[in-house]
């Protein structure tokens, strides 16, 4: 779809942060986590996302009468998963997050919102992020005065940065002459990578033996730097999953 290389400095920085996060999570003893205590952890979550439409400018070949026109691609809601590994310092968590989402192309429009026909395609979206979360845990039993219950409730906010990569294909018929046997256009195995930031909030419920269940909402923005006149990529995600502390 697009082609772009992430800078060497960004790649080196991501690698360094990934190494730090992994190194801090290598103690593999099950931890009955203390309230606001320290631990290392791994987690897995499902991601139900909304991907905003992506607009871009496209140069067609000399056999195409459309010339250089704007395109806007719409997608269905991408679903996928998120995997994390990190360290909890009590009130702050530092983690590496790897994500995968997949979405199908549902429609495409051109100049004056003209609708293309024969549209098909899909995109695979991969993300690699470093997140910093601020949290505070309470024991419902202690809050109510009945003593420690062994359960905790932890609201949190999080922010992070990293990279987003998109790989996909797109097929459609030219508006100018949809009956032309050579009128089919396609972008096969298109690839694009860009720096990204994200932020969100959520709630964690701590269970015995270091097990936690959590849910959250986040928004991610990937910067395309107006490449081919494209807008930035915006993804909204509702996620929920399981975390195991060591």
Domain annotation covers residue 202 = yes
* CA atoms within 13 A of residue 27's CA, in its CB half-sphere: 13
Instruction: Give the Cα separation of 128 and 134 in Å (integer).
Output: 20
- Identify the residue with better confidence: 48 or 229: 48
Domain annotation covers residue 3 = no
Residue 54: pLDDT over 60: yes
- CATH number of the domain residue 160 falls in: 2.40.160.20
Cα-based angle 105, 111, 117 (whole degrees, multiple of 5): 40
What integer pLDDT is reported at residue 226 of this predicted model?
A: 63
What integer pLDDT is reported at residue 71 of this predicted model?
A: 79
| Region 194-222 average pLDDT | 96
Domain annotation covers residue 118 = yes
Residue 83: pLDDT over 90: yes
Domain annotation covers residue 174 = yes
Instruction: Please report the DSSP string for the chain in residue order.
Output: -------HHHHHHHHHHHHHHHHTT---S---PPTT--EEEEEEEEEEEEE--EEEEE---TT-TT-SEEEEEEE---EEEEEEEEEE-SSEEEEEEEEEEEEEEEEEE-GGGPBPSS-EEEEEEEEEEEEEEEE--B-HHHHHTS---S-EEEEEEEEEEEEEEEEEEEEEE-STTTT-TT-EEEEEEEEEEEEEEEEEEEEEEE-GGGEEEEEEEEEEEE--TTGGGPPPEEEEEEEEEEEEE-
- Identify the residue with better confidence: 47 or 58: 47
Query: CA-based diameter of the chain, in Å?
Result: 78
Domain annotation covers residue 2 = no
Domain annotation covers residue 1 = no
Confidence of residue 103 (pLDDT cuts 50, 70, 90): very high
Domain encompassing residue 15 = 8-30+39-245
Instruction: Give the Cα separation of 144 and 164 in Å (integer).
Output: 44
Domain annotation covers residue 220 = yes
User: Pairing mode, if any, of strands 79-88 and 39-51?
Assistant: antiparallel
When mean pLDDT is compared across 55-69, 75-89, 128-142, 149-163, the lowest value belongs to: 55-69
Give the mean pLDDT of the chain.
81
Instruction: Give the Cα separation of 159 and 156 in Å (integer).
Output: 10
What integer pLDDT is reported at residue 179 of this predicted model?
A: 54
pTM of the shown model: 0.78
Domain annotation covers residue 24 = yes
- Total domains in the chain come to 1
């Amino acid at each position: 779809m697009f082609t772009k290389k992430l800078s060497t400095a960004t790649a080196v920085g991501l690698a360094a942060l990934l190494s730090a996060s992994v190194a801090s999570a290598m103690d593999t003893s099950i931890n009955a986590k203390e309230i606001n205590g320290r631990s290392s952890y791994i987690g897995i979550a499902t991601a139900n996302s909304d991907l905003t439409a992506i607009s871009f400018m496209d140069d067609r070949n000399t056999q195409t009468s459309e010339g250089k026109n704007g395109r806007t691609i719409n997608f269905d809601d991408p679903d996928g998963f998120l995997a994390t590994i990190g360290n909890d310092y009590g009130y702050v968590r530092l983690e590496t997050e790897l994500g995968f989402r997949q979405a199908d192309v549902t429609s495409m429009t051109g100049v004056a919102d003209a609708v293309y026909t024969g549209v098909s395609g899909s995109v695979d979206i991969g993300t690699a992020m470093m997140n910093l979360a601020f949290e505070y845990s309470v024991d419902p039993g202690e809050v109510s005065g009945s003593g420690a219950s062994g359960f905790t409730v932890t609201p949190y906010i999080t922010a992070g940065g990293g990279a987003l990569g998109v790989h996909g294909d797109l097929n459609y018929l030219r508006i100018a002459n949809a009956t032309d046997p050579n009128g089919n256009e396609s972008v096969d195995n298109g690839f694009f990578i860009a720096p990204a930031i994200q932020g969100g909030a959520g709630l964690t419920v701590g269970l015995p033996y270091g097990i936690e269940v959590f849910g959250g909402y986040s928004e991610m923005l990937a910067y395309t730097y107006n490449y081919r006149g494209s807008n930035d990529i915006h993804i909204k995600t509702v996620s929920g999953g399981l975390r195991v502390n060591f």
